[in-house]
């Protein structure tokens, strides 16, 4: 291991530990995201809202990829390619360039693009979709629903395993009623409408999933929560 890679790995680990502190009130979700990241070789994060702490989740996913990368090399004696693609609707967080540098130094591919109408969306194992409905007002609540649903419908065909939707203001229990969207406009209603029309996807409920994470799984994938949590 080169000294640059070793140093980058230490910094990524430190940033993950910092993320645990910064997300102390919602860290079970960070822990959940870490475990799902370990099951992936390619992750795409999509930021639909202007937020300040999104990099805590980015560092967590990067650390998860490294954990599985090192484990794979230890077991099989060979390396495996890992990659993160970051798509942002608004301007990039100024620290993303630092994330990219450390990822590259540690042999993880990292690319970032502005989320526009026409993008080249790569085949990916997991989509992490971040939305902050606290930034909405009454007239914009449905826009959150439509933005999430539009991206799920557009890109779900490229996702191999999981879709994780994190809403900072989604403070209701995951009591999904797949026959009715009701009056909840946002991550929950968009997920319900998506599942109603896409039967190759299902809602994955785990003991660690309470309200802020909505986790969708490809129905044909023989993956179980007990195997990754």
Task: Dump pLDDT digits (tens) for 175-209.
Answer: 555 544 444 567 778 888 999 999 999 988 654 44
CA 98 to the chain's CA centroid: 19
- Does residue 119 surpass a pLDDT of 60? yes
Asked whether the whole model's pTM tops 0.85, one would answer no
SS3 40: coil
- Does residue 166 surpass a pLDDT of 80? yes
Sheet holding 109-114, edge to edge: 109-114, 83-88, 42-47, 124-131, 159-167, 213-218, 201-203
Task: Dump pLDDT digits (tens) for 46-94.
Answer: 988 766 556 888 999 999 999 998 888 888 888 889 999 999 877 667 7
| Domains of the chain: residue spans and CATH | 3-228 (3.40.50.150)
Dihedrals φ, ψ of 199, to 5°?
Answer: -80, -5
**CA R_g for the chain:** 17
């Amino acid at each position: 291991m080169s000294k640059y890679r070793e140093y980058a790995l230490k910094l990524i680990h430190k940033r993950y530990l910092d993320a645990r502190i910064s997300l102390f009130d919602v860290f079970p979700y960070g822990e959940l995201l870490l475990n799902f990241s370990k099951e992936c070789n390619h992750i795409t994060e999509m930021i639909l809202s202007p937020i300040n702490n999104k990099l805590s989740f980015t560092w967590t996913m990067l650390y998860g990829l490294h954990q599985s990368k090192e484990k794979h090399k230890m077991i099989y004696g060979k390396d495996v390619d890992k990659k993160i693609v970051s798509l942002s609707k608004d301007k990039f967080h100024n620290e993303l360039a630092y994330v990219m540098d450390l990822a590259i130094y540690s042999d993880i591919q990292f690319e970032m693009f502005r989320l526009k109408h026409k993008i080249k969306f790569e085949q990916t194992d997991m989509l992490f979709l971040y939305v902050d409905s606290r930034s909405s007002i009454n007239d914009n609540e449905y826009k959150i629903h439509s933005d999430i649903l539009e991206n799920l419908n557009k890109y779900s065909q490229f996702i191999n395993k999981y879709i994780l939707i994190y809403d900072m203001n989604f403070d209701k229990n995951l009591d999904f009623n797949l026959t009715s969207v009701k009056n909840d406009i946002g991550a929950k209603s968009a997920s319900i409408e998506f599942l109603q029309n896409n039967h190759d996807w299902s809602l994955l409920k785990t003991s660690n999933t309470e309200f802020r994470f909505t986790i969708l799984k490809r129905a044909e994938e023989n993956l179980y929560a007990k195997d990754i949590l």
